[in-house]
Structure 1
Amino acid sequence: MNKRQEAQEILAKARAKEKRAKVLTVSIIAAAALAIIVPTAVVLTGAAGDKSAAAALAAAPIDGVQTYKVASANHVTTQVSYDQAPGVGGDHNPVWLNCGIYEAPVPENNAVHSLEHGAVWISYDGISDAELATLKQYVGEKTYMLLSPYPDQGAKITVSAWGEQLSVESPDDPRIAAFVTKYRQGPQTPEPGAPCTGGVGL
């Protein structure tokens, strides 16, 4: 083998080695990308599935929801008592309650004003720490949502909107999400789009 042939052989081996390295690099990058994309797709598909299920339930009448006729919705500074616990409409304080998660009972007359603006109020009584954690995780950073304790409300968990109310025994009940999907800023809202911030609380 002359020097020229030897040089060509060395060059060919070097090119083959470089090609193998490139293939290996591309394979590693592709595997890493797949590892990121697949779990993300699963998470997004799961979230979309949950929303789709809630929307499907909301499209039909939700079992257990009580509808109440609200006779008046005046702004008053006196204390108002309601027929439901919590109240789902009626005369209420001129200032609404800021939406969010509360650790203590909230002023009901202000909360009812928030319902007038399209908020959904999830109240609870006598639930475990784990059940409360589930509710907090569900409410999270959602807008137009209230979460608070309500002593002696007669049910472990009550979900309320203007003129609408549902009582359930578990935070995992799928009707909670269906209720929120249907009634948060829903067609029953007297003042849709009115604020749920800039009032009192939090």
Structure 2
Amino acid sequence: MGKDQEPRQDRRGSGSSRSGGRSGGRGRPQANVVTAQRPWGLIAAAIAVVVFAAAVISYAVVQVDNAEAMRADSVEEIDGIEVFDYAAGQEHVSSEVDYDQTPPVAGPHDGVWADCTGTVYDVDIRHENAVHSLEHGAVWITYDPEAVSEDDIALLAEVADESGRMLSPYVGLDSPISVQSWNHQLKVDSATDPRIKQYADFMTFNAELFPEPGATCQSPQFLADPFVEDGAALDPDSGTSAP
């Protein structure tokens, strides 16, 4: 036998086992366990947005439903409305007219109409001029200045803010608020009564219900210097005249 050979050492080790103790050696580092945290703030914010959106949509749906419920398709659907029977082609006059209705809804009238382009007057405009506006398809909203508040007037002005409508005080009115168009009238006690808008929406320029479809509501001279009740009449042959 040749040169003595040293016995091959078992490289797995005999005195210590890798599966045994770790003394004298470097062990595997302890793992840090990180627990995932839920983003509760974002979740709460998302829920709030969803709830808010649902509330807005629900409110919009309710408003549309309410508006649709109050939409009138005929005169008969407006509760409390009065209907009269004045023929078309009423006489133009410059004198005062003793009307049967208060405020008047039709009849003889001045040759110049009151501006009714969403106009809000702070004076009791001359009734004979206002009636001519009704002949042109306007809705005239009137109120007793002694019976309504400034907030009430603001609400009425919102309804009147549309071409074909006008608002004015009416001294001695027999109800807090009265709305009229040619041959029709509605009297109510409150500016929040939904029938005011219902009436205005249905009656304004309703071609089937007034004598002169297509006539203008513009009256610049009257708008600049409105005539008031018990005042002098404009000359029917000057300024803005009837067609």
What is the TM-score with the length of structure 2 in the denominator?
0.61
- Larger-gyration structure (1/2): 2
Aligned to 2:182: 162
Structure 1 residue 89: Cα displacement: 1.9
SS of 1:140 mapped into structure 2 = helix
What's the C-alpha RMSD, in Å, of the aligned pairs? 3.4
Structure 1 residue 66: Cα displacement: 2.2
Q: Which amino acid is the alignment partner of residue 133 of structure 1?
A: D
Q: Which amino acid is the alignment partner of residue 81 of structure 2?
A: V
Task: Quote the Cα distance in structure 2 between the aligned partners of 1:34 and 1:180.
Answer: 36
Call closer, same or farther: CA 1:136–1:94 in 2, change over 3 Å.
Answer: same
Task: Quote the Cα distance in structure 1 between the aligned partners of 2:126 and 2:28.
Answer: 97
Call closer, same or farther: CA 1:60–1:68 in 2, change over 3 Å.
Answer: closer
What is the TM-score with the length of structure 1 in the denominator?
0.71
Aligned to 1:124: 143
Aligned partner (choices 203, 210, 218) of residue 183 of structure 1: 203
Aligned to 2:151: 133
Aligned to 2:81: 65
Task: Quote the Cα distance in structure 2 between the aligned partners of 1:157 and 1:104.
Answer: 15
Call closer, same or farther: CA 1:180–1:95 in 2, change over 3 Å.
Answer: closer
Task: Quote the Cα distance in structure 1 between the aligned partners of 2:66 and 2:196.
Answer: 12
Sequence identity (%): 28
Task: Quote the Cα distance in structure 1 between the aligned partners of 2:186 and 2:124.
Answer: 19
Call closer, same or farther: CA 1:39–1:189 in 2, change over 3 Å.
Answer: farther
Task: Quote the Cα distance in structure 2 between the aligned partners of 1:196 and 1:42.
Answer: 39
Question: Aligned ranges for residues 64-143 of structure 1 at < 5 Å?
Answer: 64-73=80-89, 76=92, 78-81=94-97, 82-90=99-107, 91-98=109-116, 99-125=118-144, 126-129=146-149, 133-140=151-158, 142-143=161-162
Structure 1 residue 150: Cα displacement: 0.8
Bigger fraction of residues in helix = 1
Unaligned runs of 5+ in 1: none
Deviations 1:133-171 (A, max 9, x none): 235314416413222111123332211011111223333
Aligned residues: 190
Q: Which amino acid is the alignment partner of residue 150 of structure 1?
A: Y
Q: Are 1:31 and 2:52 matched, yes or no?
A: no
Structure 1 residue 70: Cα displacement: 2.0
Aligned to 2:191: 171
Structure 1 residue 92: Cα displacement: 3.2
Q: Say if 1:116 and 1:190, in contact at 8 Å, map to a contact too.
A: yes
Task: Quote the Cα distance in structure 2 between the aligned partners of 1:96 and 1:69.
Answer: 22
Deviates more, 1:116-125 or 1:165-174: 165-174
Task: Quote the Cα distance in structure 2 between the aligned partners of 1:92 and 1:69.
Answer: 19
Structure 1 residue 86: Cα displacement: 1.7
Aligned to 1:196: 217
Aligned to 2:71: 55
Task: Quote the Cα distance in structure 2 between the aligned partners of 1:191 and 1:30.
Answer: 57
Call closer, same or farther: CA 1:127–1:77 in 2, change over 3 Å.
Answer: same
Task: Quote the Cα distance in structure 2 between the aligned partners of 1:189 and 1:76.
Answer: 16
SS of 1:83 mapped into structure 2 = coil
Deviations 1:16-73 (A, max 9, x none): 56xx55x8536524523542x2443344234323322322585635443222222344
